[in-house]
Structure 1
């Protein structure tokens, strides 16, 4: 079953010039930008570390004995800042890559992982964990709240995907349109459940729920980085195998099939990738929106719509955006911390409106 074709699908040639010019240097430039952003993030924070002390704090000072200041810098970097920056980079890469995959799958530049209800399912499970572990029934498990929250979010995201996939699949074929519509319906159901839990929550639970729903990297740790890394690597490894299929899918399912693409297999792989990558990202940082829309669309304007370059470039630009946003979130109101979802929404929402206005202008031509 076909779905509405986005602006990119209708007029791919208008990107070809920019793609030929910038595509060969896009990955090196993005890697360099990620390195610069990471170095800035390492030095900035409530406990600032000047650039001159950074090599010693990272252990690049040879056998020079560490003084008290160097020991303090090393503690801040290796215990808090580096695992947080690594988590932010991987979450940004995961969300941006899922956005690029979904936009190719739905043939619409406005598609986003949250659109299919995966994020909402994870959020409902996480909010349930917050309320349950802080209740009389869950009092014995309260000491596990830190561990239960990401596990619940991940399980909720996977369960949501399994339900949506079973609804949209029939006789071995998966309807992307039904998957999308069922996702919208499930999002409404999940939001109703979240609203009910917020209604019965007390003040402390409300604060935890609100902070988590707005997104935060404050819970990042080496253990969570270990969970994120394999999923990101698996997604990157799958990119070359789905890139050509997503490119041909722009022409329609029938044309893609005649071009040698196993459309049903492509759908299944893409849906599983979106579920796994979105689920693990939500489990670590909560609900963060607009990254999946902004990053792939911005890159299409610069390097073109070919997914062979778009997918890895989205991972890098998503990492840059998230590391920068997290650095700003933990410094703009220091020593307090602003939820990162506020910043991504402040950037992404105007960009989203700009996409809509631009499409309206192109549609009138």
Structure 2
């Protein structure tokens, strides 16, 4: 039987198979298509509300459409400083939606790759690598590295920090992948252990730098902590382009990985017997997850739990097939981060929490509740 025929047969078996714990019953009457339409319909109004309302009521009587027309070059824009406020809120809203979508998509890829719903993007050391890159960039901007770096590149701090964070995340993911590859075979257990080891080393380096900065330069230590807790402040068009561009590229791989990831849940040996090129699938899934997470962390810093919880919630409502999970998770992640950020800015104003802190406070207890209510099912993982 040819490879194409084998894969077609495997897909047919996958459609009717219930041997995987990921194919459990869903909650509620919504079909995946209905849920996708609902999430898509909710995103534009939430974006409009996020731009129109915030810590100040400056745009309460203004028209966001007028400000948007000015950005597109077809209007005079809002009067006075209202145009600047509108643009700041627009970039923040688009950044929040893009970061939430990218982290959720990365989490869906990682959980499919590890065949474990407790896996998250941070497991590969990408968030730690991004933080280390951002920390080194902050030190460079503050003057604690050779001046030739900034003089030669002429990169401002607002560009250098996200760029170094992005490169740090990708470099860490690539290093983990290379160390976990033995004789052209990507070992998932080795990948996990390597990620944990690198995370530990990076955490030690960051603690060393932070302990020095606290005693020597409080401004540098505040900048490092701000990045470590996650931030959507100072969002710009360049960050929006980076995170949405990375998200689009990672999503482009979804049609080529969805079926194969479903078959991979039964185990690598079974997947290979059905014609799945497991080595190619694992490398493609890892690359897509790394790209999405790197872009998100480069723009917004470390935001915990979102990549862990959102794919899990989508499975509860729409099932565990990656044919729907890889598309619904980004939509749900975008709505979740955008919604929580908008709500707290509207209610708490200047006392709003950092996104990483907020996600930990919400995601941690909620995930513990999910584990408690479904603890019997954990025995079958």
Q: Identify whether the pair has TM-score above 0.5, normalized to the shorter chain.
A: yes
**Where do 1:111-260 residues align within 5 Å?**
111-138=119-146, 141=150, 144-201=156-213, 202-260=217-275
TM-score, with structure 2 as normaliser: 0.85
Give the aligned partner of residue 282 of structure 2: 267
* Correspondence for 1:80 among 75, 81, 88: 88
Aligned partner of 2:46 in structure 1 is 37
* Alpha-carbon contact 2:22-2:321 (below 8 Å) kept: no
Aligned residues: 352
Structure 2: how far apart are the matches of 1:234 and 1:330?
31
Q: Tell me the TM-score normalised to structure 1 length.
A: 0.89
Q: Is 1:342 equivalent to 2:352 in the alignment?
A: no
Runs of 4+ residues deviating >6 angstroms: 64-67
Q: Distance in 2 between matches of 1:331 and 1:362?
A: 39
Bigger shift: residues 82-91 or 181-190: 82-91
Listed as ranges, the gaps of 5+ residues in structure 2 are: 1-17
Give the conservation status (yes or no) of the 8 Å contact 1:56–1:70: no
> Quick check: 1:219–1:285 contact (8 Å CA) kept in 2?
no
List runs of 5+ in structure 1 lacking aligned partners.
Answer: 1-7
Q: Following the alignment from structure 1 to structure 2, what is the Cα–Cα distance between the partners of residues 37 and 22? A: 22
1:127-184 CA distances to partner (integer Å, 9 max, x unpaired)? 1221233134456739722221111111111111121111111111100110111001
Q: 1:238 to 1:195 in 2, by over 3 A?
A: same
Change (3 A) 1:156 1:65: closer
1:297-336, aligned counterparts within 5 Å? 297-335=312-350
CA contact 1:120–1:187 (8 Å) conserved in 2: yes
Q: Is contact 2:24-2:320 (8 Å) kept?
A: no
Instruction: Return the alpha-carbon distance in structure 2 between the equivalents of residues 335 and 82 of structure 1.
Output: 18
State the distance in 1 between where 2:19 and 2:362 align. Answer: 25
Residue number in structure 1 paired with 2:97: 89
- How big is the alpha-carbon RMSD for the aligned residues of Structure 1 and Structure 2? 2.6
On the 8 A contact 1:9/1:108 being kept in 2, the answer is no
Shift of 1:219: 2.8
Q: In 2, distance between residues paired with 1:296 and 1:257? A: 26
